[in-house]
Structure 1
Amino acid sequence: MSRTYKTTGIVLKRIPFKEADHLVTILSPEFGLIRAVVPGARKHTSRLSGRSELFVINDLLILKGRSLDRIIQADTLNSYSRLSKDLGKLAAGQYLAEFVLSIASDKQPQRELYELINEHLHRLEKISSSHSLHSHLAQGVFHFLIIAGVMPQVHTCCLTGETLSVDFNNPHWRVGFSFEEGGLIKLTNPEFSLSTQQESPRIPQYLINWQLNAVELSLLQQLVHFDLPQPTKILPPDYLNDSLPTMWVRIEHLLRNYAQYHLGATFRSADLIDSLSSLEF
């Protein structure tokens, strides 16, 4: 049986290895996560040096090893080189890569996940405004949560099954979000009049990790779609204001914390994204 195999893969992680090598983690549509040594890649004269950079897609010839495989040939098909020219985009790309690494499987086909990470890296490259970074990240994380099988419930109450509709006419309208229960929880409204309608059962506070207003829930509900939500199509004109970028930050933070709760993962690149965002808002 041959000890070599061929595949296409994107580099999602790279660390120095021994004196002159790199150890890379690659996502392949056919084989899932592959950890392999790139011999001599840290030498400037190496043909494999640039081909082991983050977010480079290669056709690969790989030699199977006892503990680690070894890349013996790489032909570059594509790369997302524009991400490295913008610190915010680069951090965002690394954040998505960390997320994929936390949910991808070894030695199993990961075609859907492979196509999805490429799609979202492509979108990040095209972003023109840094204020839209969090909206793209929120949708990317939501899509990855679907593949991971832990998509939050964003249309019905997790406790009652009641469909929840936003109320733009009430500026105080809020809905709860529970990591433990897996999504939305209808809150008891302290303004209910007991003479006209029955008050909802009081919800234990420990279940509620977050509260969303009408605009935030409307945006969150649209993330399941392939295209990024267009606020002009789903929000009343009065709600199209300068606060939207801040709401996208909150939504991304909500999904990030939800993902960390369910996946047991920590995304280090998110700290840099937060630092950059604090300089903008």
Structure 2
Amino acid sequence: MSPNQRVKGLSLKVGPLGENDRLLTLLTEENGISRLAIPGARKPRSRLGATSPFNFLDLHIVGNKDLKRVTQIKILKSYGNLGKHIETLSAAQAISELIIIMVGNENPQKDLLKLVLIHLNRLDDLHKIKFDSLQALAISVQSCIHLLALGGYCLPLQNCCHSGSKLIAPIGEWSWKCSFIPEEGFAIGGIPNASIELNPSELALLQRLLLEKLPCHSNGKLLGPKYVWLKLLKVVEAWIATHLQKRITSLQMMREVIISSDLNTK
């Protein structure tokens, strides 16, 4: 980052820095993740004090040292609606957590910011219609799968990790199983001590999540019941924990909220 620069980026995290300042974790197309000081942002009536997570910002940055300073902030878009529901907030926070784990400081990732904004916009749009927690769960699962693929940790959904044969889900053959082994991938058949077993429909749904759009029926209704999406969430969580050596706490929160809401409606 040059000594004097104007950048556009997404605020992933905002925390205290010293007595009066804030520390901003920013995702930009040009620089990947940057950590920037916002001087005086914690003072009353500070013109830089309105920064919060999940704002798309236009910033003026100065400084030659490792921790550069923000001198001007303009909010281009606020994703404040994400906080209206725990499910959308958890999904957004999971995106932020995963990015911070995968992307190094000042390490540009082509198309990452664009991808993140696509998924945040989808989550943000959920408040415009009758809210559906299943949609939030599905967007959360797909956003993690897309981010993992872009970051080089793609779920190996094309071939059996044992035989190398194509993973083609035989829809309707309910005796067919695919075993998920977090350290290796997906193996055709029932494997002793496998983490999760998927039937043909579940595997096919998981494979479709690599595509751009969520899988839906012709009437626009999301494919798959809630228990299947929770199962796919478990696959994603196990893959991240194994290959990134981290657990995404926001995904755990998502799971707990969804399960709790189901119990409360019974």
Q: TM-score, normalised by structure 2?
A: 0.88
Indicate the residue corresponding to 1:145 in structure 2. Answer: 148
DSSP 3-state at the match of 1:140: helix
- Which of 185, 188, 193 is the matching residue for 1:186? 188
Correspondence 1:227 to 2:197: no
Q: Give the Å deviation of 1:106.
A: 2.2
Indicate the residue corresponding to 2:99 in structure 1. Answer: 100
Map 1:33-182 → 2, pairs under 5 A: 33-50=33-50, 52-127=51-126, 128-181=131-184
Indicate the residue corresponding to 2:253 in structure 1. Answer: 272
* RMSD of aligned Cα (Å): 1.9
Distance in 2, matches of 1:100 and 1:87, equals 20
Q: Give the Å deviation of 1:61.
A: 1.1
Deviations 1:92-147 (CA, angstroms, capped at 9, x unpaired): 11111111111123223234111111111111112231122221111101101111
Distance in 2, matches of 1:171 and 1:280, equals 30
- Over the matched positions of the two proteins, sequence identity in percent amounts to 30
Does the CA-based 8 Å contact 2:12-2:54 persist in structure 1? yes
Does the CA-based 8 Å contact 1:159-1:185 persist in structure 2? yes
DSSP 3-state at the match of 1:224: coil
- Which of 227, 235, 258 is the matching residue for 1:254? 235
Matched letter for residue 100 of structure 2: L
Does the CA-based 8 Å contact 1:23-1:36 persist in structure 2? yes
Structure 2 unmatched ranges of 5 or more: none
Change (3 A) 1:61 1:146: same
Structure 1 unmatched ranges of 5 or more: 189-202, 234-239
Map 1:228-247 → 2, pairs under 5 A: 228-231=214-217, 244-247=225-228
Distance in 2, matches of 1:112 and 1:217, equals 27
Distance in 1, matches of 2:38 and 2:10, equals 14
Distance in 2, matches of 1:212 and 1:271, equals 21
Change (3 A) 1:44 1:249: farther
Indicate the residue corresponding to 1:7 in structure 2. Answer: 7
Bigger shift: residues 168-177 or 94-103:
168-177
The count of corresponding residues between Structure 1 and Structure 2 is 254
DSSP 3-state at the match of 2:209: helix
Asked which structure has the greater CA Rg, the reply is: 1
Q: Give the Å deviation of 1:65.
A: 4.7
Q: Give the Å deviation of 1:232.
A: 5.6
Change (3 A) 1:111 1:78: farther
Indicate the residue corresponding to 2:196 in structure 1. Answer: 210
Does the CA-based 8 Å contact 1:100-1:117 persist in structure 2? no
Q: Give the Å deviation of 1:224.
A: 0.9
Does the CA-based 8 Å contact 2:92-2:120 persist in structure 1? yes
